[in-house]
Amino acid sequence: MSVTHDPYEEAKKQLRQTIDLLGLGDEVYEMLAVPERLIQVRLTIKMDDGSIKTFIGWRSQHNSALGPYKGGVRYHPETNVNEVIALSMWMTWKNALAGLPYGGGKGGIRVDPKKLSPSELERLSRAYFAAISDVVGVDQDIPAPDVYTNPQTMSWYFDEYSRIKRGQYFGVVTGKPVELGGLETRVISTGYGTAIAAREVAKKLFGGVEGRTVAVQGFGNAGYYAAKFLSEMGAIVVAVSDSKGGIFNSKGLKIDDVKKVKNETGSVINYTDIEKKITNEELLELDVDILVPAAIENVITEENADRIKAKAIVEAANGPTTPEAEAILTKKGIVVVPDILANAGGVIMSHIEWVNNRMGGWIREEEAKARLEEKMVNNFHAVWDYWQKKLDTSKYNMRAAAYAIAVDRVYRAMKLRGWI
């Protein structure tokens, strides 16, 4: 019988552990365990066939001690309120760890976007942003793309908000197309940042990433670019997967060719230059140097953690490893580069885009990419050094170090503001 996990309960467990590690009181835990504001909206739209359909959406604004709420919006048939709250909490830690002037927020709509036409998606997107327009803003809450949302979605958000507020508010969302104030680098940023994190941990564990084997679960934006850049860095990407299954080739996959097949046929499993097809579960248990879970949360659990063979796990997805699983991985000596560090490239680039919007254009793409890499490298080493120098590495892992840095920054901001 499979074990189900509530991401919000997992997020609270991680927070509790960090509060105890830092020696902070229960009152701090209680303040940080619940969002400052939670919005639920009913979205009723007319479908292309003339029928009326109702969807439910949420926006969780977790903490604003360090600045306006920041986090993406996902469209998924299994999205629920607890998932959205958990993701908003993780965004608080991610932004704090990255040293960004943001709090944490997250949004979601329970919908299967693959079953909607482009015009239906536009009506749904505009209805959602109109419904939350009073609680978002350039200095209030700045959404961005997430699962099954993209620059086109952000364009609809931006236009709807500008129509309602009667102005041009380019900084109200990030991850926009270049024509509307976005940066091309934003598209690659999450996967590129993950690849940099993988490269840095490979330097620590193996002396470098060149020639090291990698498996990537999930071949969406983050997974594809992580695989692409790791391959360009000299790693051997032996396996990738999407929702329909995975593929394996011990000599390495040609990532751009795999991407072309996925675009043309809908799945990586139709790529033919492989040794065998594998399941998503089998991919996680491959004997590789680096495993990159880049799909959804809670894929590495106490049920399969004992069978994980990778030497390092670099989390491109949010919350792919449960606390129970991580305890097992820590005992096995497997290094986990946590999501709030490994996949922060997207929000780091969003900050650069946001500042660029507010200043009327100030940065070139090459400079933006260089700033992203510099930030990711510095953040990685800050966490690694904290872990190695301030914690018992036989008892605590990199996530404990990352959370300690992040929660302490939020705590100090709340104390300075007189909230505590």
- Render pLDDT for 311-332 as a digit per residue (tens, 0 to 9): 999 999 888 888 889 889 998 9
The overall average pLDDT reported for the chain is 93
Is residue 36 classed exposed, middle or buried when 0-12, 13-18 and 19+ CB atoms within 10 A define those classes? middle
**295-313 residue pLDDT tens:** 877 788 888 989 999 999 9
How large is the average pLDDT for residues 31-54? 97
How large is the average pLDDT for residues 52-70? 98
- pLDDT of 4 reads 61
Residue 312 in tokens: 């390092």
- pLDDT of 286 reads 93
Cα 243 to Cα 280: distance, rounded to the nearest angstrom = 8
- pLDDT of 184 reads 85
245 Ramachandran zone, left/alpha/beta (phi>0; psi -120 to 50): left
Q: How does residue 10 score in pLDDT terms, banded at 50, 70 and 90?
A: confident
**149-195 residue pLDDT tens:** 999 999 999 999 999 999 999 999 999 999 999 988 878 899 999 99
Q: How does residue 113 score in pLDDT terms, banded at 50, 70 and 90?
A: very high
Cα 108 to Cα 83: distance, rounded to the nearest angstrom = 9
User: Is the predicted pLDDT of residue 2 greater than 50, yes or no?
Assistant: no
Cα 169 to Cα 308: distance, rounded to the nearest angstrom = 47
- pLDDT of 188 reads 87
Lowest mean pLDDT segment, chosen from 1-10, 32-41, 294-303:
1-10
Domain 34-175 and domain 187-342, same fold? Reply is yes
Q: Where are the domains of the chain?
A: 34-175, 187-342
How large is the average pLDDT for residues 347-372? 89
- Is 114 noted as a catalytic residue in this protein? no
Lowest mean pLDDT segment, chosen from 56-60, 268-272, 376-380:
268-272
CATH 2.60.40.10: does it fit domain 34-175? Answer: no
- pLDDT of 3 reads 46
Active-site residue, from 106, 176, 262, 375: 106
- CATH for 187-342, options being 3.40.50.2300, 3.40.50.620, 3.40.50.720, 3.40.50.300: 3.40.50.720
pTM score of the predicted model: 0.90
Residue 222 in tokens: 């983050």
Q: What's the Cα-to-Cα distance from 270 to each of 220, 221, 241, 251, 262, rounded to whole Å?
A: 16, 19, 11, 18, 7
**224-270 residue pLDDT tens:** 999 999 999 999 999 999 989 999 999 999 999 999 999 999 999 99
